[in-house]
Each structure stands twice: as C-alpha cells, then as structure tokens.
Amino acid sequence: MAQMTVRQSPGIRLTPGRIVLYLTVLSLCVLFGFPLFWTLMSSFKTPVEMAAFPPVIIPDVFQWENYNSVLVIPRIPVTIWVMNSTIVVTLTTLGTVITASVVAYSFARFEYRGRDTLFMITLATMMLPAEVTLIPQFVLFYKLGWINTLKPLWVPAWFGGGAFAIFLMRQFFLSLPRDLDEAALIDGAGYFRIFWSILLPLCKPILATLGIITLIGSWSDFIGPLIYLNSPSKFTVSVGLQFFNNSPEVGGEPLQHLLMAACMLSMIPTIALFFVGQRYFVQGIVMSGIKG
C-alpha cells in the first residue's frame, strides 16, 4: 500500500521586517480610524460630557435619543436636507454615468480628425483648480436665474460628466475587443445599438465604480451648495450640518453632541453603498487600466 504524505503549508514567519510592517499598518489604522471612533462615541454623549476636560472618550450612559433629536428639531429641517441631497445625488450620478459613457465611446471607438487633441484638452481640464472656474460658473448660473436652486449642482453633470469620468470609461472601452463591434456591424447593427446593447452591458463593473465615486463626491460636496444656495430649505446635508455648529443653543442646550450624531447619520448612505458595491468598485478600477 502506497504511503501517503501530507504536505503542510508553511506558516507565516514573523521576521523583524514583517513585524515592523504589521506594527506600522496597525498604527496607521488606529491613527486614521480614531476620528471616526471619536465621532461615533461623541454622538452618544451628553452636552456636559462634550465639554468635559479631560475629554471623555466613552460616555457613561449612551444617549440613543440624540439620533431622534436630530430629526425633530423644528428650526433644523434635516429631512428636507436629506431629500435635497438625494435629488442632487441621483441626477448627478445618472448624468455623469450616461454622458461620460457616450463621450468615452466616441473617443475609444471612432477615428476622426482632432480626436486625440480633443481628448488631451479634456484631460487638461483636470489640472484646473475648481477655484479658477468658480466665479465664471457663478456668473453663468446667475444670468440663467439658477442661484438658490438645485440646478447648478446637477445640470453640469449632464454635459460629459467631467474629464475623470470620461477617462475612466474610455480606458474600459479600450479593453473591450473591437471584434464585438465588427461582428455587430456585419449583422446590421448600428453604432448606437452596438453601444447600448453590446458594449454597455459589459461595462457593469466600471459603471458601478463611476457611480459610487460620483455618488460619494456629490453627497459630500460642500463648496457647490455653499456658493449657490441661500435658503435653508434648499440646503443639502453637507451644508445643513453647519446649523448644528453655528446655532449655539436650542432651548438652552448646546448642539455639539447632536452635530456628531448628524454626521454619523450623513455617513451611513455612503459607507453602506461602498461596502455593497466594493466588488464592482475594485474590479472596475483594475480592468480600466488593462489597455491604454
């Protein structure tokens, strides 16, 4: 009877270099994770614990009612801000994904005069700081009568979606074989049919990636709503949170502890979305750089 041998996989050797690496990673995790932990713990504190010195890290009694108080303060309409943010995020994400896909399809699949020049000009806009175009955009939206409306926050997304979105989609289109287009053309399909029915379904990973990036960026955008919105009823969540910081008291009670609770509530949609779409996010980033 043949003798069976069992091969054991070697264990991880804790060399001095590996120990230093693990300690460095652990230290960085603690360093970058502590602000989130502090915010979470502060959202359960009382006003007295928020002002205590030395600081109280973990509250004695968790004040779960802080989260309910965030939603019921009359002068701070959090539900309206969430609704405004949802409208802006939805329209911005749809506009970016749809229009960036169309523009990227043109850059990746068609040969025409000036194509590369246009693409380089598009990429060059990424080097312009947002502050450079802020005043011209404000003047444009003022002439259009869009100040104190949500339109300046989502309408620009329907005009190409931005240079980064176009670049990301173009790189993914280049990774798809042109044989798909040629076979569809032989079968009589038009270019729009090829784009919509053949190529776009293959772009699910990069579409999910672009959607997640756009949604998180739009949800947390602060400068845009701060510049274009004036009425509290038009504010988004990112700007509305300042009311907890600027209003020192409501009924004689400081609002810093409620600010922490509101911050945690505002982070829930983006964190949940990232973990749900993490697989597509990583896959889209990896596959978008296969072919340049």
- How far apart are the two ends of the chain, measured CA to CA in Å? 57
Question: Which residues have CB under 8 Å from 132's CB, separation 6+?
Answer: none
Q: Is residue 123 part of a domain?
A: yes
Q: At what angle do helices 278-287 and 204-219 cross, to 10 degrees?
A: 110
Residue 88 sits in the same domain as residue 38? no
Q: Which helix (H) or strand (E) holds 21?
A: helix 16-42
Instruction: Give me the pLDDT at residue 290, please.
Output: 45
Q: List the CATH number of the domain containing 152.
A: 1.10.3720.10
- The pLDDT score that the predictor gives to residue 158 is 95
Per-residue pLDDT tens for 102-129?
999 999 999 999 999 999 999 999 888 8
CA distance 133 to 125: 10
- Using only C-alpha atoms, the chain has a radius of gyration, in whole angstroms, of 25
Residue 46 lies in a domain: yes
Owning domain of residue 33: 16-63
Same domain, 121 and 29: no
Q: Residue 252: its pLDDT value, please? A: 52
**Residue for token digits 């409306």?**
149
Q: In this structure, are 79 and 171 located in the same domain?
A: yes
Verify that 86 and 42 share a domain, yes or no: no
Structure pTM? 0.81
Q: How many helices (H) and strands (E) does the chain have?
A: 17, 0
Peptide bond into 177 cis (omega under 30): no
Q: Are residues 81 and 165 in the same domain?
A: yes
CB 248 within 8 A of CB 47: no
pLDDT score, position 53: 84
Q: What is the pLDDT of residue 98?
A: 94
List the pLDDT tens digit at each of the 292 positions of the chain: 445 454 544 556 778 888 888 999 999 999 998 998 998 998 898 888 888 888 888 888 888 888 888 887 767 788 899 999 999 999 999 999 999 999 999 999 999 999 999 999 999 998 888 888 889 999 999 999 999 999 999 999 999 889 999 999 999 999 889 888 889 898 888 899 999 999 999 888 889 889 988 998 999 899 999 999 998 889 999 898 887 775 554 555 567 888 888 888 888 888 888 787 777 666 655 655 444 4
Same domain, yes or no: 57 and 119: no
Dist. CA 13–CA 15, nearest whole Å: 6
pLDDT digits (tens, 9 = 90+) for 8-49: 445 567 788 888 889 999 999 999 989 989 989 988 988 888
Hey, what are 149's tokens? 């409306």
In the block, residue with structure tokens 């502060």: 42
